[in-house]
A and B are shown apart, each in its own frame.
Chain A
Amino acid sequence: MFFLACSFLAFAQERTITGKISEETNKSSIAGATITVKGGRKTVTADANGAFTISAPAGNVTLIISSIGFATKEVSVSADSRTVDILLGVDNKQLGEVVVTALGITRQSKTLVYATQSIATNQLNEVRSTDNFLGSLSGKVANVQINQGSGGLGSGAKIVLRGNKSIQGSNNALIVVDGVPTLNPTFSTAGNDFGSLQSSDGASDINPDDIESMTVLRGASAAALYGSQAGNGVLVISTKKGKKGRFEVTTNSGIGFERAWAMPDFQNTYGQGNGGVLADSSQQGASWGPKMTGQSYTDYLYNKNTLTQQKDNVKDFFRTGLTVNNSVGVSGGTDKMQTYFSYTNNYAKGIIRSNDLNRHTFDFRIANQLSSKLSSDVKINYSTVIINGRPRTGEENSQVFDAYEMPRSLKTADALKYQAPNTFDVMAPTNWPATNNSIYQNPYWMLNNTSISSVRTRINGFVSLKYQILPWLSARGSANLDKINDQYEEKYQQGTLLWNTNSGGSFMVTTPAWTQKWFDFIVEGNNQLARDLKLTYHVGAIRQDVLYDVKTAGSNGLFVANKFSLNYASNPSTTQDGSEIITNAGFAQANLSWKDAVFIDASYRRDWNSTLPSPYHYSYPSVGASVLISELVKELPLALSFLKVSANYAHVGNGGAFGITNAAYNYVQGAGNGGIARSTTLNIPGLKPEIVKSWELGLEAHFLQDRVGFTATWYKSNAINELLNLNLPVATGYATQYINAGNIENHGWEFVINASPVKTKDFSWDVAINLSLNRNKIIKLSPELKETDLGGGDNRSALPTIKEGGAYGDLYAFQWIKNTKGQYEVNANGTPYTTYSSGDPIGFIGNFNPKELVGMTNTFQYKRFNLRFLIDGKLGGILVSGTEMNLAFSGITKGTEKFREGGWNLGGVDVGGNAVSATTNAQAFWQTASGQRYGVGEFFAYSASNIRLRELSLGYDIPLGKITALKSLRFSAVARNLFWIYRGSSILSIPGIGKRKMWMDPDMSNGNGNFQGTEYGAMPSTRTLGFNLKASF
């Protein structure tokens, strides 16, 4: 009876089944799946972690699980089962990618009203970019342009989405990690082509091994909730966390070797000398001497020597770099608590012999279900980075530039005799054949007797709490801290040109520090308003406080020679600077969906920004809609399996810059008690926020059961009210004043194609193509300001100039004068007549931005082998090589080899249009084209178009056989920057020589600021070959 009763009760009662839905390959949870009991009418939806609870009748039942993007699955649950874990396989028919959007909100990509693109994590941590992880995005996302600052390992990079918008502010995309913008400051970068220290940025600390997913939000609409800087687009990164019920250890180990690649083309025919003459004991470094035939002479060290080709003297200066990456991640959890812990070590030796990097990253994350309604998520990330021997970038006395300047006949063994003790037994530079003995020094002196090192300590993390108020309503709040402490030490031994003027050497310690505190509180809800109408909304508040402080202490002059400690400072000088910006914001966002086919998004944000004058606030909205035509219209052609159109519009505001509403006087250390100087920039009491307005239209279509997918996006953005530094007549007592003005427009197209041309059991071929084009126009600056520049005021090679009617990135330089008939004008001696010598202003020679960006990734899978290669192309745009300009003056480059003996008629005319019969020679020609450190940029401008094999990876999933401890083991051989498929040529075709092929890599910039378009002493880029082993236990 008792048993009967029990069984009766059991039969009569409905039971509860709980479960968890995960993706079948990477076991990540799937949010929002629908679960139905077969034959019943009960339907529930899985939560953000894939968890669900459903009541079902007793006995064996079948659950039907469906989720957009995944194959619908039926799972039978036996009568005695209460829990079930369900794995869903991706259904290519649906493309139901789930993406993390602004503020960590997870959404299905098909519901989005704007364009996003995600990058698979294995494309981030397998073939690595040594200097900065951002480098590995190139070519993988439409309309993203990466430029690597030339500061060696760990140096800052520039990432621009959909074109440059800001003249004085940053154009870098915002990088958001786990819902919060991460600090991404660059303390020092080149603002001109003379040179500087290129420091690290914040992005270089991001550990790709900890990345769970990465999504790029290119448009402002997607990012409107982030306010400041979101106008430049956002990289949304989610880091790994522990998973319920699964214990897993993953390791990733890689080793890579890199060689200098894309170095100047050197001539190897003529040696040291001038006018074809080899001068004995000469300290002159030019390579205009005689042909190198082994002749004897007295060298610059007053030794007997022979004049022979030294093809590798520059190559010898560099070494094969080494990178070793080791990472271990441990993840596990129960229903109540999930933990992720990882440790990663990156060790690298750069191609500059003194340059090395050692980074330790610890990541710890723990999520707790504290009660049935309250959950927490806590993360701490700690990293230390030590970088030694950071090379300076630019034309100044820097290692790389000094190496390039070596005479073509100089033997490496001689160059290594760079120092000798003086009478006090302090090392002094030995004689050196410099092309300019006031600036360029023996590169081995610079390598061994100067150093820039840095130590970074960074800690960031958060505490986040979420409370499920009602099944459809939750509130979450988080407190985040991100703190970077850097210490740079610069040491220049006595005798170092430019950097040490006072006796004893020069020493400088700089300690920039950034602290970001971020607090947010968000209420999230969703309601079924009607049968086919769903509303999801977020209302919240954010407080962001970014504090910056930098102190320098140093001395040009040390009482005890080369004793690099502040204790020995003979001319101590100290400075301090800093800023703080607080932004308080309130926002609301709503998404309305009808029949899972029509989606409307709207958001509104109001900021109170401490940089603005009272009442400090401004507001901006975004609105968008998308329609899944394929859901609404059932009569689509068979080939068309998915069709979506979308449109959106957004405003994004940016508060301006710190402290510019106030008048300021600056203290200047110096004689007496020092001085106080009024700021030469007039303050702007009525500062207004900068606004980016953007429009976007999108079309997404899939064909042939989703074997082919196609996305097209058109966008336009206008940056208005830009904060500009307007020149004032200096007689007012101010050199410049801030104004809000301008209208910079970017518009363009983006196309993304994904296809699977072959898909069989053993073999598949997938191809992904990104194609984008961006056009920029400076519609307006201001009534008073028609022209400004992006830095580089000394105009050594070319000047990036912003002019009304022009485009962002227009380069101006001195030019070879052409008459109205298009004939080149020459001087009476047969050399080019240029605007440099005529006194004419610099003229437009091109724009540094590529017009089109193309990336194509092909992935082949054959049984256990996987081959992936990325072809990356940038079409259009120019780059001016100050390096070549300077080297050509000294007869070092390949281009200077011809016509050494004269007889070179350029076929030009004089100013009267009459042909000039005079002939010139290579030395006279190139010394006219280049004044050495300053010159006629047009001669050294190249079309920067290039297509290259950017990445290659060949992987093999090792069969594990009976090794049960291992879940997977994958070995891969990887390579970066393998070879050029195409590269541009010089824009001028010089009569008798023609066009010269571009030798440098345009991805390598002197700096990662807005000053771009010229390369002057930048590091060569590198080619990497490596191996990778990933294992999971």
Chain B
Amino acid sequence: MMKMQYKNKLFSLRWTAVMSASLALLGLSCTKSFPDTNTNKNTISTIGPSTLPFLFSHAEDLATVNAGNYQVAQNLFADQYAQYFACEATYFPSDRLVIRQDWVGANFNPYYSGVLPALQTVFSSTDSLSAEHALGEIIWVLAFHKATDYWGPIPYFSAGKITTSVPYDPQAAIYDDFFKRLTAVDAILKTHAGANAFGAYDLIYAGDVNKWIKFNNTLRLRLAMRISKVDPTRAKTEAEAAVAAGVMTTSASDDGFIIRSAVNGDNNGLSIMSDWNEFRMSATMASVLKGYQDPRTAQFFVPTAASKDPTPGKFANYSGLRNGLTVDQLGLGPNLAAANSHQGPRWSSTGVTVGGVVVGLANYTSTPQNVIETAEAYFLRAEGVMLGWNMGGQTAQQYYELGITNSLQQWGITDATAIANYISSTNVPVAPGDYLNSPPVSTVPIKWSSDPAVQMQQIMTQKWLGLYPDGLEAWADWRRNHTMKLYPVANSDNPLITNTATQWIRRIPFLDSEKQNNAAGVTTGVTALGGADNILTPLWWDKN
């Protein structure tokens, strides 16, 4: 009996050993397929010439604020601070100057995690003298100027390296780099004049290099004007060089719009904002548009639902509300959504009706989205002339009127008489008739004034209209120039701003996420900022 058990024991040990060894072999031999198994068949592991253009498309998509980011990157902040729209929803505090830090990162993060890796790959995979490389440089500047104009110092020269902290760079150095890049781009693109780069993968000009040359120089002119107070000499040099190199001159052929597809959420961001129905025409817009009897009004906004009259252009039917109303105020009749104007038909679905008539458009989600347009180039040149720059030989008034003309044309108002009538109109902004009984926002007429101080206000007011609905640029422009009048925000919930008549929001404080993930970097940012990290510290180019 004992013997038997002993044998069993031996047997079992042997079995165990054999089994273990064979299992080990089994394990080893069955791992050959593992690298393949662990590869997602639906993704791409390496980028080559055939996939490179897709990266450029992606960079363009993100650099122009796509639908997924639009609300939190732009709409809840810049669009409201430029007073294009006022917030109708009670649950967004940003119109009362409280920054939701977890939202505003949408005008920062996608540029780094999306635009940057895409363009870095474009840069490293293309000849530095190629048109493709140059187009990448333009998109780079387009993206990062949006970021730096919110915060000031941002991670820039060290961005794209894997490390636990990325330092911030001063805005002056960043702008310097912008100019260097754009200058180089002009020279390179001119060697490719008439060529096509990226073809259909370029969502703005379908690869037309000639148009990109004008776009590039207009962007350079825009940035030159941005630094006109802080560095007038450099500004003049860059601006004159940009104009000499050729900026946009003709709407609509020169206008830069990004074409959205409505596929897979690739929508015009503003159209999606419109569906969410959370904001309305601002009182500032109401005062200006209604006062000017502006023909663009019917494009910018639709009559109020309460008016029940869908006829476009009946100015009495448009209404706006002041920025910064309290929750209580927003619940009152004159401030309700139905009592104020929804944004224009091209951003409105067929569900938007006035008096039972559909005023929206079926293809509203694929409405082309503004990037940079011709009108802006002319207003920049008008302002440049006012500053004594050589902007191509015409007068400030001529550029001002060309700006208006091109803007009206851009919005489909092509009738020469109508344009001429508008330009010669002495109309001034009116009291918008809002809940707070606001006075007219300003006394600036359309017709070119003889008073240089008024002229500057005219240029800036028309430029503000011309930039609509690009609140990112309009807010930066207003902070930089501070000539055009906006209403004081009705109520500030931000303890730093106690008097909205004399104080305004000048920047976005560094992101909480950056303080958590890149604390050392933010410290360098505060140093570079040269002031407290709050909404009151002006940016480098803001000398108001």
Do A and B truly interact? yes
Residues on A facing B (Cβ under 8 Å): 274-275, 279, 283-284, 286, 288, 428, 436-439, 472-473, 495, 497-498, 501-503, 523, 525, 527-530, 535, 537, 539-541, 543, 556-557, 571-573, 575-582, 584-586, 588, 606, 608, 610-611, 614-617, 658-659, 661-680, 682, 727-735, 784, 787, 793-795, 836-839, 841, 889, 923-924, 927-928, 931-935
Contact with A730, one of B53, B113, B201, B351 (Cβ below 8 angstroms): B113
Q: Is B516 an interface residue (CB 8 A)?
A: yes
Please count the residue pairs between chain A and chain B whose beta carbons lie under 8 angstroms apart in the complex: 305
**What separation, in Å, do the CA atoms of A663 and B201 have in the docked complex?**
23
A717 nearest CB across to chain B (Å):
27
* Known contacts A577-B42, A675-B57; is-contact A584 B26 (Cβ 8 Å): yes
**What separation, in Å, do the CA atoms of A501 and B272 have in the docked complex?**
8
Chain A residues with Cβ under 8 A from B203's Cβ? 671-672
Query: Nearest 3 CB-CB pairs, A to B?
Result: A586-B23, A675-B58, A438-B277
Which residues between 494 and 532 of chain B lie within 8 Å of chain A, taking CB atoms?
494-495, 512-514, 516-518, 521
Q: Is B327 an interface residue (CB 8 A)?
A: yes
Chain B residues with Cβ under 8 A from A836's Cβ? 93
B200 contacts A672, CB within 8 Å? yes
Q: Is B404 an interface residue (CB 8 A)?
A: no
A932 contacts B90, CB within 8 Å? yes
A766 nearest CB across to chain B (Å):
43
Q: Is B401 an interface residue (CB 8 A)?
A: no
Additional 18 contacts, C-beta under 8 A, given A664-B43, A673-B53: A497-B275, A578-B42, A586-B27, A606-B24, A608-B27, A611-B38, A614-B35, A664-B45, A670-B61, A670-B264, A671-B203, A680-B113, A727-B513, A729-B514, A730-B514, A730-B517, A731-B159, A732-B162
* Known contacts A676-B58, A678-B118; is-contact A527 B12 (Cβ 8 Å): yes
**What separation, in Å, do the CA atoms of A503 and B93 have in the docked complex?**
32
Chain B residues with Cβ under 8 A from A495's Cβ? 351
Q: Is B544 an interface residue (CB 8 A)?
A: no
A669 contacts B264, CB within 8 Å? yes
B340 nearest CB across to chain A (Å):
13
Q: Is B421 an interface residue (CB 8 A)?
A: no
**What separation, in Å, do the CA atoms of A928 and B91 have in the docked complex?**
10
B331 contacts A731, CB within 8 Å? no
Chain A residues with Cβ under 8 A from B124's Cβ? none
**Proximity bits, B27-49, A CB within 8 Å = 1, else 0:** 11011011101111111110100
**Proximity bits, B316-346, A CB within 8 Å = 1, else 0:** 0000000000011001110011100000000
B16 contacts A584, CB within 8 Å? no
A401 nearest CB across to chain B (Å):
15
**29 interchain pairs (CB within 8 A)?**
A274-B331, A279-B333, A283-B338, A523-B15, A525-B15, A527-B8, A528-B8, A541-B23, A571-B365, A578-B40, A579-B40, A586-B27, A606-B24, A662-B38, A665-B47, A670-B260, A672-B202, A672-B259, A673-B200, A674-B54, A675-B54, A677-B58, A680-B114, A731-B160, A735-B113, A787-B516, A839-B99, A927-B328, A933-B91
B116 contacts A733, CB within 8 Å? yes
Chain B residues with Cβ under 8 A from A669's Cβ? 263-264, 266
A503 contacts B54, CB within 8 Å? no
* Known contacts A438-B278, A675-B55, A837-B98; is-contact A731 B365 (Cβ 8 Å): no
* Known contacts A501-B267, A501-B272, A610-B37; is-contact A584 B61 (Cβ 8 Å): no
Residues on B facing A (Cβ under 8 Å): 5, 8-9, 11-12, 15-16, 19-20, 23-24, 26-28, 30-31, 33-35, 37-45, 47, 51, 53-55, 57-58, 61, 89-91, 93, 98-99, 102-103, 108-109, 112-114, 116-118, 120-121, 154-155, 158-166, 200-203, 258-267, 271-272, 275-278, 327-328, 331-333, 336-338, 349-351, 362-363, 365, 493-495, 512-514, 516-518, 521
When C-beta atoms are compared, the residue in chain A nearest to B66 turns out to be: A670
**What separation, in Å, do the CA atoms of A376 and B24 have in the docked complex?**
27
Q: Give the dominant DSSP class at A's interface.
A: mixed
**What separation, in Å, do the CA atoms of A354 and B281 have in the docked complex?**
40
Chain A residues with Cβ under 8 A from B26's Cβ? 541, 584, 586
**What separation, in Å, do the CA atoms of A617 and B28 have in the docked complex?**
9
Contact with B42, one of A539, A541, A576, A586 (Cβ below 8 angstroms): A576
Chain B residues with Cβ under 8 A from A616's Cβ? 31, 34
Chain A residues with Cβ under 8 A from B155's Cβ? 729, 731
A931 contacts B159, CB within 8 Å? no
A793 contacts B260, CB within 8 Å? no
Contact with A924, one of B23, B38, B328, B516 (Cβ below 8 angstroms): B328
B61 contacts A437, CB within 8 Å? no
A761 nearest CB across to chain B (Å):
48
Chain A residues with Cβ under 8 A from B27's Cβ? 584-586, 606, 608, 617
B30 contacts A729, CB within 8 Å? no
A923 nearest CB across to chain B (Å):
8
A927 contacts B90, CB within 8 Å? yes
**What separation, in Å, do the CA atoms of A501 and B112 have in the docked complex?**
30
A733 contacts B327, CB within 8 Å? no
**What separation, in Å, do the CA atoms of A142 and B99 have in the docked complex?**
47
A839 contacts B494, CB within 8 Å? yes
Chain B residues with Cβ under 8 A from A841's Cβ? 512
Chain B residues with Cβ under 8 A from A794's Cβ? 102-103
A811 nearest CB across to chain B (Å):
16
* Known contacts A501-B267, A584-B26, A586-B23; is-contact A735 B109 (Cβ 8 Å): yes
B263 contacts A608, CB within 8 Å? no
**Listed residue (B154, B263, B338) with the most chain A CB atoms within 10 angstroms of its CB:** B263
B350 nearest CB across to chain A (Å):
5
A430 nearest CB across to chain B (Å):
12
**What separation, in Å, do the CA atoms of A472 and B12 have in the docked complex?**
10
Contact with B327, one of A501, A541, A931 (Cβ below 8 angstroms): A931
B495 contacts A733, CB within 8 Å? no
A837 contacts B263, CB within 8 Å? no
**Listed residue (A286, A438, A528, A579) with the most chain B CB atoms within 10 angstroms of its CB:** A438
